[in-house]
Structure 1
């Protein structure tokens, strides 16, 4: 087999990248080579300067080369947290644009879509954005079409929302090279229940009711709440839109979620606020306005009640911890 028949895939890793996204792509590609008995996928790790990179799990990786030395790649995926930036931004972004001009397919997994878009290679293209980063992404890139689909291919760019989506994307690559039978066997090896393709929307976790599902009224009300984060709505307005009484919504939420609709709504707004605090450079006044608060004072009080830390403390600690005091910082 000639070298040109091997699809060479690079993984550009940034400090604090989610390790699961890397293994979720490499393992199915490795398994496909073994099952088919052919070496059709090769891969190498790349960092900006070629030095060791530590993942969000504090596991260190030795890259094969620096970005400037990444040659003969067919695909290059960026893996990072949302706040990751190149040390030498102008030069490294230029290298990415040059690779794209020379036919390399680029991609971003999870938070990797942030440096991918910052590089300038995603002009007027759609990309998959994990739901926990959506508010921060839209704040920084209002001109980019952020999709809630697990995988998006736009032009010659592939984006996937997280580690599970990365596995699906790898299976699709396997299917294109080896066929559906090998892709199916790879999925079976890893007990992966189904291969999701483009057009499949992300599933956002919700607190389950005792019978493991939201009743229709609660689901419809929750959808309206989620659509009114910046321009807030009231229980009365939601009830009017759904042609029910506020009391009906109160009872339904209490039974299904164990909390009032107002507390559920506030939790949605706090989750959006936390995305902006952790993954954007917006001022706290701008964060407050983005989630429907006229000033920072009530935002800070509700934020502290929800997460046990103030917005200032949360932002200050983002680069120093992944999980502390039972407060998770997403790395998906």
Structure 2
């Protein structure tokens, strides 16, 4: 491989970041240098304050310095989670200064919220973690929000989480240094990059189930896409091309519960996320998650979570 000047990648790490998202962002750069036997990338971990940020798991990571918007760099990645839906106005201004230099800006997980709050994703396609997609769409109408794993739209890149971030970094390496290097970098992590960027972020990660029982995987994906108007077991079985009794048996063998119980839990989990993360009323949430009445929803919610949906709504409102 011909010698090329190393690209400087700055990673702005915000408090409560995900360790996996950070690793997925920087480890492919290290592996690319190793595989290429030359320094293709240099990276710096940067904080916004004098204090080193702490991860969501309570681990403090040493930084290479504070974020300087005027420093020379080829790309800036923002790795953030949890508390990044509101940001410091000074940070927003600093990010806009970086953007005026026409370099690539990337948001990993809630890093997309940071870029969006700074107005840097307006007019671009973007994504964020699947739990926040609905609120992200409502909050930023000027962004073409998609449920893709990651999006690379001109000089604005966003990834929904750790695994999509790894895929995005491999895509960057492939674009800059060719497919053979990207494949070898993936091999360092014993990673088979099977999902395209445009694959939707799944609510349920099926893992090996998609290979060992594709019919069951098909049914679960159908459940995910029909929360508001739940499908019957016969309809689900027909989508997978199997008999209803076969579907019942496979659910119990693979997942230890009936299709009905699994589907109900999927809808209730979605309702809890909506109550915690959006301003929708209980009635709206009930309808969106396939319950015919607010009272039926409340009974099912209490059995599953031991609390009333209204209480969850009140707690979320006070926390906000």
TM-score (structure 2 length as normaliser)? 0.77
Measure the CA separation in 2 of the matches of 1:143 and 1:273. Answer: 26
Matching residue of 2:248 = 254
Matching residue of 1:183 = 182
Mapped contact 2:301–2:308 kept (Cα < 8 A) = yes
Unaligned runs of 5+ in 2: none
Task: After superposition, give the CA deviation of every residue in 1:41-76 in whole Å (9 maximum; x if it has no partner).
Answer: 111222333422110121112333444556212212
Mapped contact 1:135–1:275 kept (Cα < 8 A) = no
Measure the CA separation in 2 of the matches of 1:129 and 1:87. Answer: 16
Deviation at 1:298, TM superposition (A): 4.3
Superposed, which structure 2 residues align to 1:15-34 within 5 Å?
15-34=15-34
Matching residue of 2:270 = 272
Measure the CA separation in 2 of the matches of 1:167 and 1:109. Answer: 10
**SS of equivalent to 1:63:** coil
Whether 1:6 and 2:3 are equivalent positions in the alignment is: no
Deviation at 1:165, TM superposition (A): 1.9
Task: After superposition, give the CA deviation of every residue in 1:97-153 in whole Å (9 maximum; x if it has no partner).
Answer: 232122121111123222322322112322233434434444544664333332211
Deviation at 1:301, TM superposition (A): 3.9
Cα–Cα, structure 1 residues 60 and 281, in superposed 2: closer, same or farther, change >3 Å? farther
Mapped contact 1:51–1:66 kept (Cα < 8 A) = no
Measure the CA separation in 1 of the matches of 2:50 and 2:237. Answer: 56
Mapped contact 2:219–2:239 kept (Cα < 8 A) = no
Matching residue of 2:227 = 229
Matching residue of 1:104 = 103
Superposed, which structure 2 residues align to 1:287-302 within 5 Å?
287-293=285-291, 298-302=296-300
Task: After superposition, give the CA deviation of every residue in 1:158-190 in whole Å (9 maximum; x if it has no partner).
Answer: 112221222222223333343333323222222
Measure the CA separation in 2 of the matches of 1:47 and 1:289. Answer: 43
Matching residue of 2:114 = 115
Matching residue of 1:38 = 38
Matching residue of 1:324 = none
Cα–Cα, structure 1 residues 213 and 84, in superposed 2: closer, same or farther, change >3 Å? same
Unaligned runs of 5+ in 1: 321-332
Matching residue of 2:47 = 47
Measure the CA separation in 2 of the matches of 1:293 and 1:137. Answer: 24
Whether 1:91 and 2:85 are equivalent positions in the alignment is: no
**SS of equivalent to 1:5:** coil
Matching residue of 2:159 = 160
Deviation at 1:273, TM superposition (A): 1.9
Mapped contact 1:24–1:163 kept (Cα < 8 A) = yes
Measure the CA separation in 2 of the matches of 1:73 and 1:91. Answer: 20
Mapped contact 1:127–1:147 kept (Cα < 8 A) = yes
**SS of equivalent to 1:61:** coil
**SS of equivalent to 1:257:** helix
Query: How many residues of Structure 1 are paired with residues of Structure 2 in the alignment?
Result: 306
Matching residue of 1:329 = none
Measure the CA separation in 1 of the matches of 2:219 and 2:58. Answer: 41
Matching residue of 1:126 = 125
Measure the CA separation in 2 of the matches of 1:69 and 1:127. Answer: 22
Q: Which 10-residue stretch deviates more, 30-39 or 103-112? A: 30-39
Cα–Cα, structure 1 residues 136 and 266, in superposed 2: closer, same or farther, change >3 Å? farther
Task: After superposition, give the CA deviation of every residue in 1:21-45 in whole Å (9 maximum; x if it has no partner).
Answer: 1111211211222332322211122
**SS of equivalent to 1:22:** helix
Matching residue of 2:150 = 151
Which structure exhibits the higher relative contact order, with contacts defined as CA atoms closer than 8 Å and separated by 6 or more residues? 1
Deviation at 1:293, TM superposition (A): 4.8
